[in-house]
Every structure is written in structure tokens, then in C-alpha cells.
Amino acid sequence: MYHGFGLAHISHLVLFGLTALACFGMVVRVRTQIDDPDVQWGLASLLALCGFWSAFSLGRLSVPLPELKLTFYMLGLIVGLSTVGAWLYFCSAFTGRTYHQESIYRWTAFSLFLIIVAVKVTSPIHGLYFTTSSPTSTELVIELGTVHWVVAGFAYALSAIGFYMLFDLFKESNYVTTKLSVLVGLAGVSGVFTVYAYLNPTISTVSYEPVGVALFALGVLNFADGTFLAVQRFGREQLIDELNEAIIILDSDGIIQDVNDPARRLFPSLSDAIGKSVATEVPELTEYLSVESPQVITVSRSNVEKHYLLSTQTLTAGETIIGRTVVCTDITELERQRGEIKRHRNQRNEFAEAITHELRNAINVTNGHLELVQTHLNSEEDSQTANSLNIAVSMTDRMEQIVCNLAMIAEYGQPVEETLSVDLGTIAQEGWEMTSSSNEFLQVPTSEMVEADPTRLKKLFETLFTFCLSNGATEVKIEVMDGTIVVTDNGKPLTETDAERAFAYGEAVPDAKSGMQLPVVRTLADAHGWNVTIETAYQGGVRIRIVT
């Protein structure tokens, strides 16, 4: 027992004061560094309780009156007992077990806690847990009873279960956990000092467990190089062996921590690669690990090529990057189907190109003969024949335009597979130059980017501008409003009925000459997954909205 404020007494005041501050301060660190809610709650609760335990120990050593010392001592006993529950909760959550979530354990623990607390707080009456005496007006001597040692032994036994769960996790982990083992040991060794203090009458009967817990938390949150969080993440019971995908788990240095059977079958060198560098064991993967977007890789085994989609995912614990997973998904059948679709698409395009070529040849030959007839025909003698020839020439010109539109639909009407971020104004200007004359005016936005296939977008604007000009427009304005491309012209407004029919093939809106232009615009927009409508309320011309 310390008398007065000697060096040892002051040292204990400083020790428990700093421990309380450290515990309360690290509660905030836990909430920001650990993202697992159960682990966060367990460790934060443990630190908060140890902070109060240290504060009550500080209070007992500071106050002069025995009655106040006893009050702080009782509060310390209650809070100290509750730390056992917080410790077990943390250890269960950290090691991936579910004991802390099962109601039978929680209610049993709570019931035992209430019983033991009842025995403690009534000890001044029955004296079974402890007895007290006051040799002087400022001293409090505590004599511990048999029940205390029974409860203490039970509490230490329960705490040992938590230590077992942690060390078992460290043993199964592929990480070097020497630092963590030492830090966990500090939390346990502090209990030895507590027992020694209670057995030695010359030392104040205080509990040093809060100091051990504070050192443990301080170490794992600041000096364990992220291993604490990494072990907890990788040490959980994994289901990766039940998955069909090949999975490789790496730490932040590219060291292999775990692999499943599909990964071993895909890359036989992984059979004995735990703890080794992935760059050494599977060098063919190295170039893909730094790429964030998924990549298709081809692996040859026994003269059989298989295709896999390789993706990587960063593993984090709070704000700490602890590693990443590499997942290889077999897409061989998908790639085969994709190749088949591509082959059919190429065949269709070749077929469309052949038909277009033959039709254009036939139209050109027809035009040539019609023009030859026109040159030899005396229009003054047979005006009706001349008029018929002019109509025939006009129809062949229209037929050529229809053939061009159909060829464009065949080539560009399929869904867009890959888009680029392109400048909307630049693409629109290029389309405008293909269709307009010096008498028309186009206003485009500046620095407006859109995700699109550049060729299809240019064709869309070419066709749309062709419609605008053939509908009598001399000015066209393009704006972007909330993800919608708005094209407004000063041409002839469309009626509500025409607007409903404008995008349908086979409808001559506004006339037969331009009847295919808006349906082609819709087809090119559909290829991007966009929606095209006409704003019928606008009567200053035609306003078309393309919702991207």
C-alpha cells in the first residue's frame, strides 16, 4: 500500500491518467481505421471501458477519503468485469467467428455479469468478495476474499479463450505475425502484474489490465504496418474454394496469401506458392495486375485455348490498403459465341455490301441510259415523254439515297460495343460540313463531351442535318441540357400526328423525299442506347431531343 504522494504513487497517477487519455483517444481512431462494424464495435467498446477503468483507478489513487476510494474501487470492479465481455466480443468478431452474434451466449454472459456485479456491490454487507479497513483517515486497505479469486480465475479463463482465438488466427495466417503476437502478449502479461500486486501487501491493489489493452491497441493501430487489419481480413473463414472462379489473394506487396483449387488448376505453379511473389510464380499475370479495368486473357493448356476475364479488386480495411484479389472467370463459351456473332455480322455486312454494290450498279446503268435518252429527246416535240424521263431520273436518285441509307443501317445499326469520349461540337461540325451550303448556319456547344461511337455519331448528325435542311431550315442550334442533346432548327414545324409517325420506316414524314432520314437517326441513336423524341410544343421549327 502506498503512503502519501511518493514517487511510486505519482508514477501510478501518471500511468493511469495517460492510459485513460490514450484509450479514449483511440476510440476515435478505431472508428476511422476499421470498417468492419462488429470488430469496430468490439475494440471501441473495449477501449472505452478500459479508459473508464483507468479513470476510476486514477480516482481511487487521487481522492483522500476512504469512502470515495471505495466508490471508485467498486466502479472499477464493475467496469473491469465488463471488459471481459468486450474482449471476447472483439476476439470473436476479429477472427471471423459468430459467437458474439448468438443470443444464447450474449444472454448467458449478461446474466453472469449481473450476478457477479450483485455479489460485488453487496460485498460490504456479506464480506465474501472483499473486506475493507481504514488504518488512517486517508487510507483504504482491501482484503480480498475467496469469491474474488474464484471470479478472477473465471474472468482470466474467459479472457484466455479470446487469446486462444487470436493466436490460432495468427498461426493459420500466412503473414509474419511476430509483432502482433508480442502486442497481444502485452495485453495478457498485464494481468500477471495485477495478480502480483494483489498478492504483495507492499504494492497498491490496482489492476494493470487497462494499461496492457492500451499498449495493445496503440501498437496494432499505429506500429503494426497494417498487418493487424490484413490478418483479420485474410484470416476469416473463406468460401473461395466453393467458387468456380480462379481466385488469388495477394497482400499489398504482391505476395500470394491464398489461392483456391480452380486457380491451382489454371496455374499449376500456384500449388506451392503461398508466401511467394506472384510475379515469380505466375509471371504471365504481372502485366495485367496494374490495369484497373477487366482484361481478357488466353491460357493454353494441353493444346486447348481457354479465355478468362481477369479482374482485380483492392482490399481495404478502413483507410489501409492490405492487398487485392485476382479473379479469373472462364468466358471461353462466351468468347466462342462472341466470335460466332462477329462471324455472322461480317457475313451480313458483306452480304449488304454486295447487294448495295449491285443495286448501285443497276441504278447507275439506268441513270446513264436515261440521261442518254434525254440528250436525244426533243422536249418541245414530246413534253410528256420528257416529263416522264425527269421523274424516272428523280426516282433513281431517290433510290440511290435509299440504298445508301439501308447500307448505313446495315453497317452501323448494331449496338455500340465500344465508346469514346468525344467533343460533341466537333463531331456535329464535321457532319454539318457534309450536308450544308454557305447559306445555312450551325451553332454548336463548346467543350461538351459525350460517350459515343464517333463514326455513328457523325452519321447521325449528317442524317439529321439532311432532314433539317430538306425541311426548309436555314439555322440549326445544338445544346446539351441535363444529359440531353437538343437540336433545334427554324424549318417547317411538324404536326403532332407527323411527330408520332416521323421515326417509323415506311412513313413519308414530312414527304417522300426525306421520309427515311428520321428513322435512320432513331436507328443510330438506338445503337447507342439513346432515346429520340420530337418536342411537339415547340412551333418555331423542329426541336429534337436525344436523351443519352
Distance CA 174, CA 156 (A): 29
Distances (CA, A) of 112 to 155, 157, 158, 245: 11, 14, 12, 47
Q: How confident is the model at residue 225 (pLDDT cuts 50, 70, 90)?
A: very low
Pair 445, 478: CB distance under 8 Å: yes
Distance CA 16, CA 2 (A): 15
Last residue of a domain, one of 357, 386, 412: 412
pLDDT of residue 2: 47
Distances (CA, A) of 337 to 177, 297, 331, 333, 345: 48, 16, 10, 6, 12
Please check whether residues 351 and 450 belong to one and the same domain: no
pLDDT, tens digit (0-9, with 9 covering 90-100), for 74-113: 898 888 889 888 888 988 888 878 888 888 989 999 999 9
- Residue 51 in any domain: the answer is yes
Asked whether residue 522 carries a pLDDT value surpassing 80, the answer given is yes
Please check whether residues 30 and 53 belong to one and the same domain: yes
Neighbours of 312 (CB within 10 A): 20
Please check whether residues 374 and 502 belong to one and the same domain: no
- Residue 53 in any domain: the answer is yes
Please check whether residues 52 and 177 belong to one and the same domain: yes
What length is written for the chain?
Answer: 548
Last residue of a domain, one of 393, 412, 431: 412
Please check whether residues 197 and 250 belong to one and the same domain: no
CATH code of the domain containing 290: 3.30.450.20
Please check whether residues 46 and 88 belong to one and the same domain: yes
Please check whether residues 32 and 118 belong to one and the same domain: yes
Rounded to 10 degrees, the C-alpha dihedral 50/56/61/67 comes to: -150
Please check whether residues 223 and 104 belong to one and the same domain: yes
- Residue 536 in any domain: the answer is yes
* Three-state SS at 144: strand
Q: How confident is the model at residue 408 (pLDDT cuts 50, 70, 90)?
A: confident
Number of domains in the chain: 4
- Residue 2 in any domain: the answer is no
Please check whether residues 390 and 454 belong to one and the same domain: no
C-alpha cell at 517: 432520314
Q: Which structural domain range is residue 279 located in?
A: 238-330
Pair 482, 476: CB distance under 8 Å: no
- Residue 202 in any domain: the answer is yes
Please check whether residues 444 and 466 belong to one and the same domain: yes
Please check whether residues 70 and 193 belong to one and the same domain: yes
CATH code of the domain containing 17: 1.20.1070
- Taking the whole predicted model, whether its pTM rises above 0.75 is answered as no
* Exposure string for 215-249, b = 16+ CB within 10 A, e = fewer: bbbbbbbeebebbbbbbbbbbeeeebeeeebbbbb
Distances (CA, A) of 246 to 187, 305, 335, 413: 40, 16, 18, 37
pLDDT, tens digit (0-9, with 9 covering 90-100), for 154-205: 887 887 887 788 777 767 665 555 665 665 666 655 666 666 666 665 555 6
Q: What is the DSSP letter of 277?
A: B
pLDDT, tens digit (0-9, with 9 covering 90-100), for 239-252: 566 677 888 888 87
Q: What is the DSSP letter of 235?
A: T
- Residue 295 in any domain: the answer is yes
Of residues 270 and 302, more confidence is placed in 270
- Residue 1 in any domain: the answer is no
- Residue 522 in any domain: the answer is yes
Please check whether residues 433 and 404 belong to one and the same domain: no
Last residue of a domain, one of 185, 204, 233: 233
